[in-house]
Amino acid sequence: MAERPKNYDPKEIEPRWYAEWMARGYFHADAAAPKAPFAIVIPPPNVTGVLHMGHALGTTIEDIFTRWRRMAAYNAMWLPGMDHAGIATQMVVERELRETEKKSRHDIGRAAFVDKVWEWRQKTGNRILEQLKRMGASLDWERTIFTMDPPYSAAVIEAFVRLHEEGLIYRARRLINWCPSCRTALSDLEVDYDEGTQGELYEFGYPLADGSGEVVVATTRPETMLGDTAVAVHPDDPRHKAKIGKMVKHPLVKREFPIIGDAILVDPKFGTGAVKVTPAHDINDFETGQRHNLPMISIFDDAGVVNAEGGEFAGLDRFAARKAVKARLRELGLERGSKPHVHAVGHCQRCETIVEPMLSTQWFVKMEPLAKPAIQAVEQGKTKFVPETWSKTFFHWMNNIRDWCISRQLWWGHRIPAWTCDKCGEITVARATPAACGKCGAAQLKQDEDVLDTWFSSWLWPFATLGWPNETRELKTFYPTTVLDTGYDILFFWVARMLMAGLHFMKKVPFRTVYLHTMVVDEHGDKMSKVKGNTIDPLDVIDKFGADALRFALAWLTTSAAQGKNIKFAVSNVEDASRFANKIWNATRFALMNLEGYDPDRFADWIADGPDRAELDLPERWILSRVQRVSEEVDTALEEYRIADAAQAAYHFIWGELCDWYIELAKAGFQRAGTDVEARSKIQGTLVTVLDTSMRLLHPFMPFLTEEIWQQLPKGSGLPQSIMITLYPVRDVRFHDDASEASMALVQKIIVAIRSIRTERKIPSAARPAVLLAINDDYKKTILEGYKTLIAEQGRCGEVRVRRTGASFSGEFVLSKMAMAMAGDVEVMIPLEGLVDTDSALEKLKKDKLKLDSDIAYLMRKLSDGKYLSRAPLEVVDKDKAKLAELEAALSKMLIAIDRLKKK
């Protein structure tokens, strides 16, 4: 057999297998296949996207589920695609245009600009999908969909037209969130609130028109007084009650307006108890304006610059206007005070510009009728959230839902299918350009300039990707999808809206389970950001350690996600996973070097009715039973969406039981068997069987390594070409062997006890001491009698004697020179006479003790130093405390050892 490399090298192996899987069409699911469906749609990354840790995490989770179900004989389909990401993409292309041609989008016009975006998409738009391939994602690439593809666009238009026909989409002049930099409307969700913004509560006096005094108002935005159309006071406020109904004279623009009483808007305890009302630039004032029929005066243009309504301040930007208005008020002697004030300020999610509430005519979706069925579906358990706690958040938002502003003043996106008649102003909504106005018959129609919010196309994703509105085979087979995996940050943006759209258009929930993962943050818990420089590029990690190691590390770390905590990620996690890969590689290497003469078909026959217990030795019976139990554990964990538990169970078995124990037992077994072909083939068969099962078990987590190893294992006849399409290990009670597991557990405990005595007493490794086992249980005693050879081999000792507790070993050994340890209820004793030089051992122990004493003293001093405790970060102090506890434990063990030696 050719020498295999000592270290696993993912660089060569990963791309090779991915290409092979693609070429063989393993990722594709045929909608007509007579198998139970399992479907996941990818949260479509933005076409501008570059693979980050969040994508890596989602890809890992979704691929684990897909590969696992595919191996369990489901018709597993994982659908890839991309989002056109309206505003994000438009910004990228605009920037490029500015940099390369020194032009704005307005310079080249709408049609040419949209062409530019398509050109850009052609050039770089597949980058993220190519990067997903590096992760090993088994996506059904034939089904790749882009939200701007013609069939998908048709679905978007269809949804708009239907909702409009049903009265669920309407056009209205409303107060909306406006980004003066992006110059578009935003939905409520696209506004990020900075809760702790340091601002100013500014007070000024409005003179009463009849000259009888003034009313002092408090505001965080003095410049909006240019658009005030009332002052409101609480109707029961004794300070202001008498002023209700009087008129105020605006000091800066020629206007008079009333003082009104309004118990909803005014909190008499806040500020002066009187508030200015600007219906066109504040949502609460807008509602007040509607209650009192106040004029609504917009004072800003699209860029946030004061318009003609602002009189002398026209032409000033919002923030310059604030300064100018305050200066004028001071000049006029109307300034009344100012104090610092912390409040929440809304920023544009895209560009961080402070959002301006503006009165604007936009399209809206009426949400309440759509939300009700979605709330019900979750209440009835038709869709479940994992972790379950998210349903509370979901209900809260859904029960307080507001109408959704869906029109955007952008060029890149699905243009709104509404046409205005030049002649009569009638608006016609249609699936295709109408030939004539429905009302007056005129042929001059102009299409709405706006496009739809990107999320208006993504909320159709689970069914528009499968061919809706056509009744396709795909829809029939794969809708509702099985599980949706996504970050909790888009629960409202996307998940809740998909539920609403799915129930409305398909009459069925779009997915049975929503698995919400948390965010990947750096090892200190800080958000990864380019500005902070703490981002980790998944592609760099893959280059260094391989995709398998990255995937395994992420799967392991989903423990925190299950607890709703962010995932703290460090490259060291991937290094650990990479060591795991190497460990497996080396165990396989050992197996393959010892397979001469092995016949897989013969071994398969042999254990066809379960392992023949009389024929196989304890280590073989034990490991065959263990791999079976762990398979069940992993399978159950995956069924319950406990990904980390599944990964950890597989890891502990493969590393701890297979590599650390069984490989050692097999080495001794081969030695014992010598040239006995039958004895050898029992061990060979067990090694191959357990490795084969372990690789299949681990495949969803580490697809490349497992495929590479699986291919090298000798296989019986009639097996598939790839691990990807073999069966996932299933429950098989024939291999359950409680008795062997119990016996082996006992034997392992004894071996561990022997090893620890050897280390503690510094017994030279070449020494083969006798071992005396005392036990107060006849049944166990009989078992141990049977495994003396095993114990001697693994404990590297000579003779092993087993006695009832109390039965004397005297006469055979010097009892005072005996080292003792407990292994459960078994006393493990090793006679030390002649093995260790007690004097020098004592000397060495005493020296070690001095060092320990001084280390402990140092730490104790440190931890009682108030200055240190108040300055050092909590985790450093915790580390010191843990270290101290560790040293103290070591010291007490050492004292016992010294004591024992002294007695001799």
- Is residue 179 involved in binding Zn ion (CB under 5 A)? yes
Among 329, 437, 464, 555, binds Zn ion (CB under 5 A): 437
Which among 97-105, 119-127, 426-434, 719-727 is the span making contact with Zn ion, rule CB under 5 A? 426-434
Q: Would you say 41 and 62 are in contact if contact means Cβ atoms under 8 Å apart? A: no
3-state secondary structure of 613: coil
Least Å from the CB of residue 349 to Zn ion = 8
Q: Which residues are CB-neighbours of 466 under 8 A, at least 6 positions away?
A: 79, 472, 474, 475, 478, 479
Nearer CB in complex with Zn ion: 183/796: 183
- Closest to Zn ion by CB, 179 or 634: 179
The closest alpha carbon to 64, from 539, 848, 701, belongs to: 701
| Residue 440 touches Zn ion, criterion: CB under 5 A | yes
For Zn ion, the binding residue among 164, 350, 642, 699 (CB under 5 A) is 350
CA distance 324 to 767: 93
User: What binding mask, one character per residue, do residues 196-235 give for Zn ion by CB under 5 A, x or -?
Assistant: ----------------------------------------
Contact criterion met (CB below 8 Å) for 415 and 448: yes
Strands 145-146 and 81-82: parallel
User: What's the closest the beta carbon of residue 411 comes to Zn ion, in angstroms?
Assistant: 15
Task: Pick one of 6, 98, 291, 439: the residue that binds Zn ion (CB under 5 A).
Answer: 439
The enclosing H or E element of 171 equals strand 169-179
And the tokens for 659?
């590599």
Binding span for Zn ion by CB under 5 A among 104-112, 255-263, 442-450, 797-805: 442-450
Candidates 146-154, 349-357, 389-397, 539-547: pick the segment binding Zn ion (CB under 5 A).
349-357
Amino acid at 682: K
The span of 74-82, 173-181, 585-593, 657-665 binding Zn ion (CB under 5 A) equals 173-181
Q: To the nearest whole angstrom, how small is the minimum distance from the Cβ of residue 426 to Zn ion?
A: 4
Question: Could you say which of 332, 424, 745, 857 contacts Zn ion (CB under 5 A)?
Answer: 424
CB of 289 to Zn ion, least distance (A): 26
The single residue among 39, 56, 182, 405 that binds Zn ion, judged by CB under 5 A, is 182
Of residues 122, 123, 117, the one with CA closest to residue 97: 117
Nearer to Zn ion, 182 or 325 (CB): 182
876 binds Zn ion (CB under 5 A): no
CB closer to Zn ion, 105 vs 699: 105
Q: How far is the CB of 495 from Zn ion (least distance, A)?
A: 24
Shortest reach from residue 95's CB to Zn ion, in Å: 13
Q: Which is nearer to Zn ion, 418 or 744 (CB)?
A: 418
In angstroms, how far is the first alpha carbon of the chain from the final one?
A: 54
What is the closest distance, in whole angstroms, from the C-beta atom of residue 304 to Zn ion in the complex? 11
Closest alpha carbon to 511 in 78, 179, 145: 78
The whole-angstrom separation of Cα 244 and Cα 232 is 8
Distances (CA, A) of 181 to 104, 262, 321, 418: 14, 34, 17, 26
Residues 6+ apart with CB under 8 A from 752: 823
How many residues contact Zn ion, by CB under 5 A?
Answer: 15
CB of 181 to Zn ion, least distance (A): 5
- The piece of 431-439, 590-598, 660-668, 804-812 that touches Zn ion (CB under 5 A) is 431-439
Among residues 277, 299, 377, 421, which is the contact residue for Zn ion, using CB under 5 A?
421
Interface pattern 309-348 for Zn ion (x via CB under 5 A) = ---------------------------------------x
Token digits for 650?
């597989």
- Check: CB of residue 184 under 8 Å from CB of residue 198: no
What minimum distance in Å lies between the beta carbon of 533 and Zn ion? 25
Q: What are phi and psi of 346, to 5 degrees?
A: -85, 130
Give Cα separations from 302 to 175, 182, 360 (angstroms).
14, 9, 10
Residue with Cβ nearer Zn ion (425 or 798) = 425
- Closer to Zn ion by CB, 444 or 782: give it: 444
In the set 20, 426, 448, 760, which binds Zn ion (CB under 5 A)?
426
Q: How many residues does the chain have?
A: 904
Considering the rule CB under 5 A, would residue 442 count as an interface residue with Zn ion? yes
Closer of 353 and 535 to Zn ion (Cβ): 353
Note whether 420 binds Zn ion by CB under 5 A.
no
Nearer to Zn ion, 303 or 424 (CB): 424
Stretch that binds Zn ion, among 27-35, 72-80, 425-433, 882-890 (CB under 5 A): 425-433
Least separation in angstroms between residue 313's CB and Zn ion is 24
Of 439 and 844, CB closest to Zn ion = 439
Q: Which range in 48-56, 229-237, 418-426, 674-682 contacts Zn ion by CB under 5 A?
A: 418-426
Binding flag, residue 239, Zn ion (CB under 5 A): no
Q: Pick between residue 172 and residue 442 the one whose CB is nearest to Zn ion.
A: 442
- Tell me how far, at minimum, the Cβ of 422 lies from Zn ion, in Å: 8
Decide: is 181 part of the binding site for Zn ion (CB under 5 A).
yes
CB 731 within 8 A of CB 634: no
With binding defined as CB under 5 A, does residue 351 bind Zn ion? yes
| Interstrand relation of 191-207 and 214-219 (parallel, antiparallel or unpaired) | antiparallel
**Cα separations (Å) of 333 from 178, 206, 336, 670?**
34, 11, 8, 101
Distance in Å, CB of 94 to Zn ion, minimum: 12
Residue 410 touches Zn ion, criterion: CB under 5 A: no
Give me the least distance between CB of 428 and Zn ion, in Å please: 8
Closer Cβ to Zn ion, 417 or 685, answer by number? 417
Return the structure tokens found at 236.
């029961």
Nearer to Zn ion, 194 or 732 (CB): 194
According to CB under 5 A, which residues from 505 to 564 bind Zn ion? Answer: none
CA dihedral 257, 261, 267, 271 (to 10 degrees): 40
SS3 assignment, position 500: helix
Q: How far apart are CA 561 and CA 536, in angstroms?
A: 19
Q: What residues numbered 466-505 form the site for Zn ion, per CB under 5 A?
A: none
Determine if 446 is a binding residue for Zn ion (CB under 5 A). no
Q: Which stretch binds Zn ion (CB under 5 A): 118-126, 391-399, 441-449, 685-693?
A: 441-449
Type of residue at 260: I
Rounded (to 5) percent helix, strand, coil in the chain:
50, 20, 35
Closer Cβ to Zn ion, 178 or 603, answer by number: 178
Query: Closest approach of Cβ 455 to Zn ion, in Å?
Result: 16
Q: How far is CA 651 from CA 13, 14, 558, 579, 685, in A?
A: 21, 21, 15, 11, 22
CA distances from 131 to 46, 128, 251, 679, 777 (A): 13, 5, 62, 49, 61
Question: How many helices and strands in the chain, by DSSP H and E?
Answer: 30, 29
Contact between 807 and 774 under an 8 Å Cβ cutoff? The reply is yes
Q: Tell me whether residue 423 or residue 629 sits nearer to Zn ion (CB atom).
A: 423
Cα-flanking dihedrals φ and ψ of residue 231, to 5°? -120, 135
**Quick one: which of 175, 491, 218, 213 has its CA closest to 335?**
218
Quick count: other Cβ atoms within 10 Å of Cβ 118? Answer: 14
Q: What are the two backbone dihedrals, phi and then psi, of residue 82, each rounded to the nearest 5 degrees? A: -140, 150
Strands (E), 404-507: 404-405, 407-408, 418-421, 427-429, 445-447, 451-452, 481-487
Residue 421 or 591 with smaller CB distance to Zn ion: 421
**Binding of residue 87 to Zn ion (CB under 5 A):** no
Contact positions toward Zn ion, by CB under 5 A? Answer: 179, 181-182, 348, 350-351, 353, 421, 423-424, 426, 437, 439-440, 442
